[in-house]
Amino acid sequence: MSTLYVEPFGGMAGDMFLAALLDLGDPRFRLADLERLADALVPGEARLAVAETKRGSLRALQLRVETPETERPPHRHLSDLLGLVDRAPLGGPARDRAGGVLRRIAVAEGEVHGTSPEAVHFHEVGAVDTLVDVCGAALALERLEVERVHASPPLAGSGTVTCAHGEMPVPAPGTAGIMRGLPMSLGGGGERLTPTGAAVLAELVDAFEPPPVFRSATVGYGAGTRDPATGPPNLLRVQLGDSDRAAPRRVAWCLQCNLDDATGEEVGFLLQELRAAGALEAWSEPVQMKKDRPGVVVSALCREDARDALERICFDHTPTLGVRWARFERAECEREAIEVSLDGAAVRVKVRRRPGASAPTPLDVSPEHDDLAVLARASGRPLRELERRAVDAALAALGEAR
């Protein structure tokens, strides 16, 4: 599996990440590719240049994106930026990644300033150089055919930073919001992790931990514009290589609410509605609540785009005063559905594809119980016998021997 390992040991900004990726020296992603992207985003507005530099005793590449907007950035909104991304020469997944990075920034800034993401004025992060950073990162992963991204916790910095809204603590409020729930290392002096760098990490990284087994092929270093006298050098390292294929990890959100004044029928109805609205899983667990009353915790897992719907269902169908959200990563196996014939009847079978397994085993094959039950009643044969036969038939259909 093609894997990128990002190490923001001295901090991270969008230009540092791009410089490190260019420093890999991979012919699939060159400065010329980045220049074509910049010209497509805002024709004639950006001039790009790379140069070797040193931070401490380490050699690195530094990227400069110069535009008239850098000193006087326009007040673009999220819709303006997404419109530019939509016209960029990016594949679908890369365009989604770039849009996801910008949305994370908008949500965090909206929370800080008490407004909606759509109403946020993008001040420093609305200029062409930020668009190049964000879309360039998505383009690099696309060109380099990266399947999985790992990262170590980024160095966030310390002290204060001066921005469009005055002097702010480090991490900056927007950065802190973007990194909420994600690991970072504090210290280093000044601002080390920018909002754009934080959003790139939050959107692109699959796991904030080293790959379990990793074989590095190329290494690149990207330098920031600052050269602090204290703390680690203002550098970012990336390593491109391959790692053993693991089950893909996808983000899922867990909703929970406690109920001690709902009937069993109401809880059952709630679970059905949650599943119908897009929950990946929904369940309840018995608990003791205040005044030792018996109650239940209702839980549901969902993707990001189903959160609002599930939350609304809980408020519409229960007297709960609030719900909780937690972010999880799920290691998910690929799966498929096939159909086999058993005594002239069709039986649906679910097949699990485990990473690293060359072929399914009986443990990976699950006949549909409802189909087996109908056949058992019609034939008088034991359910367990029919299940064994269905598994054998499925393995045979998949071209595998038991």
User: Given this model, what pLDDT does residue 75 score?
Assistant: 67
Query: Are 12 and 78 in the same domain?
Result: yes
Q: Quick: pLDDT tens for 86-101.
A: 988 999 899 999 999 9
pLDDT attached to residue 126: 47
Q: Which pLDDT score is estimated for 125? A: 45
Domain count, the chain: 3
Residues 6+ apart with CB under 8 A from 170: 156, 157, 158, 159, 160, 161, 190, 191, 192
Domain interval for residue 189: 2-243
- Across 143-172, average pLDDT: 87
Does position 76 have pLDDT exceeding 80, yes or no?
A: no
Q: Answer yes or no: is 67 within a domain.
A: yes
Mean pLDDT for the stretch of residues 3-8: 97
Q: Give residue-wise pLDDT tens across range 37-75.
A: 999 988 888 889 999 999 988 999 999 988 776 556 666
- The CATH number of residue 318's host domain is 3.30.70.1380
Q: What is the pLDDT of residue 402?
A: 45
User: What amino acid occupies position 381?
Assistant: R
Indicate whether 301 pLDDT > 80.
Answer: yes
The answer as to whether 122 is a domain residue is: yes
Same domain, 93 and 47: yes
The average confidence (pLDDT) of the chain is 89
Output the pLDDT for position 292. 86
Task: Please give the torsion angle defined by the CA atoms of residues 149, 153, 154 and 157, in that order, rounded to the nearest 10 degrees.
Answer: 170
Q: What is the pLDDT of residues 319-332, one digit of tens each?
A: 999 999 999 988 88
Among 213, 243, 273, the domain-final residue is 243
> CA distances (Å), 33 to each of 18, 47, 323, in order?
12, 13, 46
The predicted structure's pLDDT at residue 222: 97
Residue 385 resides in a domain: yes
Residues 51 and 168 in one domain: yes
Residue at a domain's end among 306, 331, 356? 331
**134, 238: one domain:** yes
More confident residue, 153 or 164: 153
In a domain, 151, yes or no: yes
Q: Are residues 156 and 59 in the same domain?
A: yes
Domain presence at residue 402: no
Assess whether 40 and 157 both reside in one domain.
yes
pLDDT above 90 as % of the chain:
64
Q: What percent of the chain has pLDDT over 70?
A: 94
Return the pLDDT at 66: 82
Provide Rg for the chain, Cα atoms: 26
Nearest to 394 by CA among 356, 348, 355, 358: 348
Please tell me the pTM assigned to this model.
0.63
**Residues 76 and 192 grouped into a single domain:** yes
Length of the chain: 402
Same domain, yes or no, for 116 and 237?
yes
Task: Give one word for 11, left, alpha or beta, with left for phi > 0 and alpha for psi -120 to 50.
Answer: left
Give the pLDDT score at 333: 83
